[in-house]
Structure 1
Amino acid sequence: MSNHVLQEKIAEVLKLNRIGVLSTLKDNRPYARYMTFHHEGFTLFTATAEDTHKVEDIEANPYVHILLGYEERERGEAFIEVEATAEIAKNPDDKKKAWSEKIAEKYSSPEDENFIVLICRPTVIRYRNDDEWDAAQEIKF
């Protein structure tokens, strides 16, 4: 599969799947939780609260693993695995990228100091689907 076609397939998974699993490490043990992701290109943004374990985990070890896709048959069996480096957004514009009506119910504004956005910059994205299970394709960044 060409790099361009692979990028299009990954972009389609990102477009159709906002809920995924974010995994971090704490004390050398993995922790996974469901998160809602927004994306700009292949960079992922996800909102959380300042006082969560995932923020502590990322401050100690910024490497994360994200799974998106595969949960709904009508959307196909494709999914992506994202290895990324996560950071806490400092730029107010980055915090706005993960802002939503649901988040507005809990926080006063994107500038609320308790509202944290994690920016996950991929180092590798692997694309998989049931038709080509043994032939995972990947893009390195």
Structure 2
Amino acid sequence: MQDIFEKIIDDSAVGTMATVKQNKPHSRYMTFIRKDLKLFTATSLETHKAEEIKANPYTHILLGYEGEGFGDKYVEYEGKAAINSTAELKNELWNSYLENWFNGPDDPDYVVLEITPVRIRIMNKTGAEPKTFEL
């Protein structure tokens, strides 16, 4: 099952990330990088999501649906996020696309959300029940 999860994430890096804002869900599109079962995404300390993660670190992420209909595999990823501002991780994940928001990997507002999985479900695989990976 882990290999299916990894392929979906690697093939579909953009997904929705939901946090909680004033006891209500708040979703946005994000780009994710996978390392083993953890997900990483860049953000600014000046965003609502950073504030929301500080108040409640739990998140729900959807990745992989291609819009083809029944049988499209996708991942429901429930995790616990932490704000990581280590220079090592920021440099590792830095790419030219981030120049649209930050003044380089040393920008103090540039941080990485490090998301550790709590539960991963693979959904809609044709002919198969959803598979849940509890962690």
How many angstroms does 1:39 deviate by? 1.1
User: Counterparts in 2 of 1:1-141, with a 5 A limit?
Assistant: 6-71=1-66, 73=68, 77-132=72-127, 135-141=129-135
Counterparts of 1:106 and 1:90, CA distance in 2: 16
Residue 32 of structure 1 aligns with an amino acid whose one-letter code is S
Matching residue's letter, 2:115: C
What is the rounded CA distance, in whole Å, between the counterparts of 2:45 and 2:53 in structure 1?
A: 12
Shift in alpha-carbon separation, 1:29–1:35, aligned structure 2, 3 A: same
The alpha-carbon distance between structure 1 residues 72 and 95, as it changes in their structure 2 partners (threshold 3 A), is farther
- Mark the CA change 1:97 to 1:132 in structure 2 (over 3 Å): closer, same or farther: farther
Whole-angstrom CA distance in 1 between matches of 2:12 and 2:91:
20
Q: Deviation above 3 Å: which 4+ runs of structure 1?
A: none
1:85-140 deviation line (CA, Å, top 9, x unaligned) = 0000132222234321110243222221011211111011000124146x110112
Q: Deviation of residue 72 (structure 1)?
A: 5.0
Distance 1:128 1:93 in 2: 34
**Does the CA contact (< 8 Å) of 2:85 and 2:110 recur in 1?**
no
Residues 24 and 64 of structure 1 are in contact (CA less than 8 Å); yes or no, is this contact kept in structure 2?
yes
Contact between 1:37 and 1:45, CA under 8 Å: does it hold in 2?
yes
Tell me the percent identity: 35
1:26 CA drift (Å): 1.2
In the alignment, structure 1 segments of 5+ residues that lack a partner are 1-5
The structure that is helix-richer by fraction is 1
What is the TM-score of this pair, normalised by structure 1? Answer: 0.87
Amino acid at match of 1:20: G
Per-residue deviation at 1:77? 1.1
Per-residue deviation at 1:55? 0.4
Specify the code of the residue in structure 2 equivalent to 1:137: K
Q: Secondary structure at the match of 2:42?
A: strand
Distance 1:123 1:97 in 2: 24
Q: Return the TM-score normalized by structure 2.
A: 0.91
